[in-house]
A = this chain, B = another copy of it.
Amino acid sequence: MPERAIGVFDSGVGGLTVLRELRRQIPAEDLVYLGDTARVPYGTKSAPTVCRYAGEAARFLIDQQVKLIVVACNTASAVALEQLAENFQVPIVGVIVPGARRALEVSHSGRIGVIGTEGTVRSRAYERAILNGNPNVSVFAAACPLFVPLAEEGWADHEVARMAAHEYVRPLLEHDIDTLVLGCTHYPLLKRTLQNIVGDSVVLIDSAEETAKTVAALLQQEGLRRQVSSTAEPRYFVTDIPDRFKQVGGAFLGDSLDNVATISLD
């Protein structure tokens, strides 16, 4: 079992920011990534539809004999995690709880902002996870639907991104937050622009890093760490043809994307 791969899935390229952190923190592990690029994005879709897609993605990874599944998509983590944990035997790690925990660690004022897709914000999953850790803090959330297309367009540092960020984040700043959770795997690409808008007194939380830490700890705890370092490159699967995934994904992974195959989930 420990020699099996870790499965990671996302609606598209965003989860590659999580894969990148997994490679950095636990380089001995073998990784399989699935991007549901034929149906991306999940963030504008309803909970029942995202649950169905997430179930199909997890089923595919299980068929690849993975030992653990990382739901590297905030929207799917927000609405489908419980259902996945009920339906599959392997440990399932989402990106919400690690990000929420980290926010509670760094916030001094107890005033925490969360930005994400419509689906993630509507689910209030971050709010629940944060208040579950400490019911005395205040959580303020804002949906930022333009950030995903801005990141994919390569405009993360463009004046258009700066203006959109200002528009979305201003209401959170008016609530005097000191911590801002980047509640979407695309948003780390906008880190520089967002830090400029919120100023140095607000700490940005990148779930990718926290999620990889959680995975590393869980592998240790469950006796699932590989004994022999894998020399295999990650394998990538997508549901549309790989061209756009390879082209856009490079910026998310910080590396070139080879070894990409198309599969069908529906």
Interface residues of A (CB under 8 A from B): 37-40, 44-46, 48-49, 118, 145-146, 148-150, 152-153, 155, 158-160, 163-164, 167, 239-241, 243-244, 266
Task: Report the Cα distance A148→B244, complex, angstroms.
Answer: 18
Query: Are A49 and B241 in contact, CB atoms less than 8 angstroms apart?
Result: yes
Contacts of A40 in B (CB 8 A): 44
Contacts of A149 in B (CB 8 A): 145-146, 148-149
Task: Report the Cα distance A37→B39, complex, angstroms.
Answer: 10
Contacts of A241 in B (CB 8 A): 46, 48-49
Contact A240 to B38, CB < 8 A, known contacts A160-B163, A160-B167: no
Contact A46 to B244, CB < 8 A, known contacts A163-B160, A163-B163, A167-B160: yes
Contact A49 to B167, CB < 8 A, known contacts A38-B39, A149-B149: no
Name the 8 nearest CB pairs between A and B, nearest first.
A266-B266, A46-B241, A149-B149, A49-B240, A38-B49, A160-B163, A160-B164, A39-B39
- Can you name the residue of chain B whose Cβ is closest to the Cβ of A245? B46
Question: How many Å from the CB of A56 to the closest CB on chain B?
Answer: 10
Contacts of A38 in B (CB 8 A): 39, 45, 49
Name, among A44, A158, A159, the residue most crowded by chain B CB atoms within 10 Å (CB to CB). A44
Contact A46 to B240, CB < 8 A, known contacts A146-B149, A146-B153, A150-B146: yes
